[in-house]
A and B are shown apart, each in its own frame.
Chain A
C-alpha cells in the first residue's frame, strides 16, 4: 500500500490515462489475496449448503456429456471410443470460455456496491471472475480424470501444451472482461446480447461435432475465433499438438483484444464507477 498518491486528476493528466490503466491492472494483481478469497467465496456461496457443493456443476456436465456423446456418436456414425473424448473435453473447455465471456458482462455491474464503497482497482473484479472460472473448470476437469482410464486420450508430454493454451485463453478473457464489462455497465442490453451470442456459438463451434464432417463449409470453422480458443486447449488434452497456425491466430486474438481493451480502459476507466 502506498502512503502517498494523487487520485483523480482533471484534464491536465489525460495523457497519462494509459499509464493509469496499466497501473490499475498492476495494483489489481497486488490485491491477489482479495480476489483469491472472493473467487473462492463465489464458488462456495452458490453451493454452501448442499452436500456435494460445486460438484453439482460437474455432475450435470457429466450427464450432458454422456447423453450428447451417446446420441451424436450414433447420429454422426462415429465410434463412441473416438467420439466421447472429443465431446467431453470440448464441453468442459467450451463451458469455461462461455462462463468467462458471459460473466464478463456482469463483472462491474454485479460488483457495483463494492465499487462504490471501496477504493480497490477495478481490475480486481476481472481477476476475481477469471479465478472463479478457473476454479469451476478445475472441478469439471474431474470428468476428464475419471474418463482417462477408460478411453484413449493419448497422454504424453504434448498434453502439457494445454497449459499455455489455458493461459492464452485467460489473457484474452481478461481483455474481454474489460471490454464487455465496461460496455455492459454503460449499455444495459449488452448482457442479454452476449448471452445469446454465446448460445449460438455453442452450436456453430465444433464442440460436439468435428470440423471434418463439414464438407464444403469449412469457413464456419476457420472464421470462427472460438474454434481456435477451444482447440488450443482441447487438442493437447487429446494428445495432439495444436498446429502453428492455431497458436498464431490465438496470439493475434490476444493482441488485438488487448489493444482494444487498453484503449477502451484508458478512455473510460474513470467513468465506470459513475455508470455502475
Chain B
C-alpha cells in the first residue's frame, strides 16, 4: 500500500548571488577568515517550514496556496528530488513525478523515438515501453506521423503525443504540478475519459494547482500552504473555502494568479 509520511520537514534554499557562486571569492573569504562579502550576498529562503503531513492509499490531495507558498518544493521533497536537511520523509510505493509533460521530448526525433525516451525517463524498461507502444500509437491517432520528427507536428499533435505518453503508466504515487495539457478540441473528450481512468488507477495523487474546477474533479482532500507552512489540511471544502477567502483578499490587492488556458483538461 503506498503511503507518504512527512514529519517536521524543513527546506531552505540558499540563493547565491553571482559573487557567492564564484570560487575565487570563496577562496578569498576562506583565507581572510570569511569576513569579506560573506553573508551579505547569500540569502536564505525558507521554502518549507516544519511541514508534517500523512497520506494514505486512496488519497487525492490538492495542494493549494499562493505562488511561492512551497507547493512545488513540497512535491519535489515527496518525489525524493530534494532531500530535506531536517525532518524525515517516508515514502512507500513508486513515485512518479510529472511536472512537465514535455520533458525529454526532442523535436528532431521521431514520435516513436520520443515515446521510448520519455518512457525511460519515467523509469520504464525498453521492453515495458515496447509492450505499450501499440496502445500509445492507437490512442494518439498519429499513425504514420510517429515515424516523422516531432518538429513536423502541429501544436495539437505534439500535445496529443505528450498527453498520451504521460498517461500510459500506472503510477502508485502520482505527483502533478498544474495539469496535463491535452491539445485540440477533437481530442479533448477522449483525453478526459483516459485521464479519469488514469487518475482512478493511481494509489495516491498529489496535485498542486490553482484551478478549482480541476481540484474538485479529482481531489478528495486538500492542503493549504502559506509561506512554506501547512496553514490548513483535511476536508476539501473547508480548505478551498479558506483558500478562496485568502485569495479574494489577495485579489483585491493585486491581479489574479489563476493560470488558466484553453485546452487544458487537467
Instruction: Say yes or no: B83 contacts A8, CB within 8 Å.
Output: yes
Asked if residues B109 and A273 are in contact (CB atoms below 8 Å), the reply is no
**Cα distance A246–B175 when bound, in Å?**
52
Residue of A2, A12, A118 contacting most chain B CB atoms (<10 Å):
A118
A196 interface residue (CB < 8 Å to B):
no
A113 to chain B, nearest CB (A): 7
> Does B261 count as interface, using CB distance less than 8 angstroms?
no
On whether the beta carbons of A3 and B93 are closer than 8 Å, the reply is: yes
Chain A window 1-43, contacts with chain B (Cβ cutoff 8 Å), 1 for yes, 0 for no = 1111111111110000000000000000001011001100100
Contact between B89 and A8 (Cβ–Cβ < 8 Å)?
yes
- Whether B117 lies near A37 (C-beta < 8 A) is yes
Check B26 against A187 for contact (C-beta < 8 Å). Answer: yes
Report if B100 contacts A (CB, 8 A): yes
Q: Which of B79, B88, B93, B108 contacts A4 (CB 8 A)?
A: B93
A48's nearest neighbour on chain B, judged by CB, is: B108
Asked whether A188 lies within 8 Å of B21 as measured between CB atoms, the reply is: yes
Q: How far is the CA of A31 from the CA of B121 in the complex (A)?
A: 10
- B143 is an interface residue with CB less than 8 A from chain A: no
Taking a contact as CB atoms under 8 Å apart, the answer to whether A117 and B97 are in contact is yes
- For residue A116, CB closer than 8 A to chain B, the reply is yes
- Interface contact A10-B84, CB-CB below 8 Å: yes
Q: Which chain A residues border B21 with CB–CB below 8 Å?
A: 186-189
Is the Cβ of A12 less than 8 Å from the Cβ of B93?
no
Assembled-state Cα–Cα distance A41/B116 (Å): 12
Chain B residues lying within 8 Å of A61, measured Cβ to Cβ, are none
Task: Verify if B120 is at the interface (C-beta below 8 Å from A).
Answer: yes
Are B88 and A12 in contact, CB atoms less than 8 angstroms apart? yes
Tell me, yes or no, whether B132 is within 8 Å of chain A by CB.
no
CA distance A37 to B13 in the complex (A): 33
Nearest-neighbor residue (CB-CB) of A13 within chain B: B88
Say whether A5 contacts B106, CB under 8 Å.
Answer: no
B-chain residues with CB within 8 Å of residue A120 when the two chains form the complex: 121, 123
Q: How many residues of B contact A (CB 8 A)?
A: 44
Verify B121–A118 contact, CB threshold 8 A.
yes
- Does any Cβ of B come within 8 Å of A215's Cβ? no
Does B125 make an interface contact (CB < 8 A)?
Answer: yes
Q: Is the CB of B23 within 8 A of A37?
A: no
Query: Does A76 make an interface contact (CB < 8 A)?
Result: no
Given the contacts A10-B87, A12-B88, A188 and B22 also touching, CB distance less than 8 Å: yes
The answer to whether A193 has its CB under 8 Å from any CB of chain B is: yes
- Indicate if the CB atoms of B23 and A187 lie closer than 8 Å: yes
In the assembly, what is the distance between CA of A189 and CA of B123, in Å? Answer: 33
Q: A7-B80, A114-B121 are in contact. Are A45 and B108 (CB under 8 A)?
A: yes
A54-71: which residues lie under 8 A (CB-CB) from chain B? Answer: none
A116 — which chain B residues lie within 8 A by C-beta?
76, 81, 99
Per-position 1/0 for B174-217, Cβ under 8 A of A: 00000000000000000000000000000000000000000000
Complex A-B: 20 CB contacts under 8 Å? A3-B172, A5-B80, A5-B91, A6-B91, A7-B80, A8-B80, A10-B88, A33-B120, A37-B116, A113-B103, A114-B121, A117-B81, A118-B103, A118-B123, A119-B79, A119-B95, A186-B21, A187-B26, A189-B22, A190-B23
